[in-house]
């Protein structure tokens, strides 16, 4: 395969679509200048090739990667695809083609700057997924536990199994506001899809009471003498605060009515 060919591949943004791009690149013996989404395509002097997603070809490509580089490498590639790393599509293409050319995976070549960059991106993805397992805040909206997040990486596929297992008897909806992507969980099953019509209804009085209770607990549990904003920002990055109940506007509600005094107790 030549180092670079004056052509741009355009695909649908799915992992199956990327696998079809890798298949076509290897078949044609060319390395595209870029692999882009349709909305990323701007005026260019390079010819463009629209790669259609073929699930059959994708499965063949995935099987070939697994056979020639191992299941661990395939899992790594899938994680890289979920990261926010720039030009991750061409990075994955280069990783696969070089591994095929050498007859082994490049995953162990930590001295390679490209491989090290991919490993760093995956580590960032994994760290963000772990943080959000603790930072996701749900609201009860008509019997459905709903949350809105805005992660840097594409973490919903990594959160699906965790929350489905954690709340097996609940219906959940987690909306990735930045990507317009919605995770639905119920009865132990999950699915992810895109929507541009997601909106939250106004919170009920009961939901507002629960929020007030959580905010009160957060404030009461804090030790004022040990307040350290720098430390808190390190463990709880500020980019998540806007989506966390304890940092929202303080809603002053009386969660429980006052109990009447008991008569005749003496």
What confidence score (pLDDT) does residue 257 get?
46
Q: How many domains does the chain have?
A: 3
Q: How many other CB atoms sit within 10 Å of the CB of residue 207?
A: 17
Whether residues 118 and 13 share a domain: the answer is yes
Strands 139-141, 144-149: pairing is antiparallel
What confidence score (pLDDT) does residue 266 get?
41
Tell me whether residue 76 is in a domain: yes
Tell me whether residue 106 is in a domain: yes
Q: How far apart are CA 28 and CA 97, in angstroms?
A: 12
Tell me whether residue 265 is in a domain: no
pLDDT digits (tens, 9 = 90+) for 186-198: 988 899 999 888 8
Domain range enclosing 210: 203-257
Whether residues 237 and 249 share a domain: the answer is yes
Whether residues 18 and 105 share a domain: the answer is yes
Tell me whether residue 44 is in a domain: yes
What confidence score (pLDDT) does residue 261 get?
52
Say how many residues make up the chain. Answer: 266
Q: Which of 105, 125, 145 is the last residue of a domain?
A: 125
Whether residues 45 and 22 share a domain: the answer is yes
Tell me whether residue 131 is in a domain: no
What confidence score (pLDDT) does residue 265 get?
43
Q: How far apart are CA 99 and CA 114, in angstroms?
A: 13
pLDDT digits (tens, 9 = 90+) for 133-145: 999 999 999 899 9
Tell me whether residue 36 is in a domain: yes
What confidence score (pLDDT) does residue 103 get?
80
Q: Which of 125, 145, 174 is the last residue of a domain?
A: 125
Whether residues 145 and 117 share a domain: the answer is no
Encode 44-67: b = buried (16+ Cβ within 10 Å), e = exposed: eeeeebebebbeebbeebbebbee
pLDDT in tens, the chain (266 residues): 545 678 999 999 999 999 999 999 999 999 999 999 998 888 677 889 999 999 999 999 999 999 999 999 999 999 999 999 999 999 999 999 999 988 888 888 777 899 999 999 999 999 999 999 999 999 999 899 999 999 999 999 999 999 999 999 999 999 999 999 999 999 888 999 998 888 888 888 888 888 888 888 888 888 888 878 787 777 788 888 888 888 876 655 544 444 455 544 44
> What is the token pair recorded at 125?
């993805």
Whether residues 114 and 144 share a domain: the answer is no
Q: Which of 125, 149, 172 is the last residue of a domain?
A: 125
Whether residues 76 and 27 share a domain: the answer is yes
Cβ(158)–Cβ(133) under 8 Å? Answer: no
Whether residues 210 and 194 share a domain: the answer is no
Q: Name the helix (H) or strand (E) containing 174.
A: strand 171-176
What confidence score (pLDDT) does residue 209 get?
85
Whether residues 17 and 115 share a domain: the answer is yes
What confidence score (pLDDT) does residue 159 get?
96
Whether residues 31 and 110 share a domain: the answer is yes
Whether residues 166 and 250 share a domain: the answer is no
Tell me whether residue 58 is in a domain: yes
Whether residues 10 and 115 share a domain: the answer is yes
Tell me whether residue 247 is in a domain: yes
């Amino acid at each position: 395969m030549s180092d670079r060919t004056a052509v741009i591949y355009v695909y649908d943004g799915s992992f199956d679509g990327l696998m079809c791009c890798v298949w076509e690149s290897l078949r044609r013996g060319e390395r595209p200048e870029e692999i882009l989404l349709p909305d990323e395509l701007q005026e260019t002097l390079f010819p463009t090739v629209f790669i259609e997603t073929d699930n059959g070809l994708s499965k063949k490509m995935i099987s070939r990667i697994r056979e020639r580089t191992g299941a661990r490498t395939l899992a790594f590639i899938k994680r890289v695809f979920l990261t926010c790393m720039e030009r991750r599509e061409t990075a994955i293409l280069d990783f696969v083609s070089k591994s095929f050319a050498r007859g082994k995976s490049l995953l162990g070549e930590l001295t390679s700057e490209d491989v090290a960059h991919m490993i760093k991106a995956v580590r960032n993805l994994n760290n963000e997924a772990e943080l959000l397992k603790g930072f996701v805040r749900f609201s009860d909206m008509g019997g459905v536990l709903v949350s809105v997040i805005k992660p840097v990486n594409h973490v919903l596929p990594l959160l699906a199994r965790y929350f489905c297992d954690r709340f097996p008897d609940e219906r959940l909806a987690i909306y990735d506001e930045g990507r317009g992507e919605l995770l639905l969980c119920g009865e132990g099953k999950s699915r992810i899809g895109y929507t541009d019509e997601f909106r939250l209804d106004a919170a009920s009085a009961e939901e507002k009471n629960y929020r007030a209770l959580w905010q009160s607990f957060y404030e009461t549990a804090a030790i004022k003498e040990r307040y350290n904003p720098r430390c808190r920002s390190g463990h709880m990055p500020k980019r998540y605060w806007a989506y966390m109940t304890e940092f929202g506007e303080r809603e002053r509600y009386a969660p429980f009515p006052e109990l009447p005094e008991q008569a005749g107790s003496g």
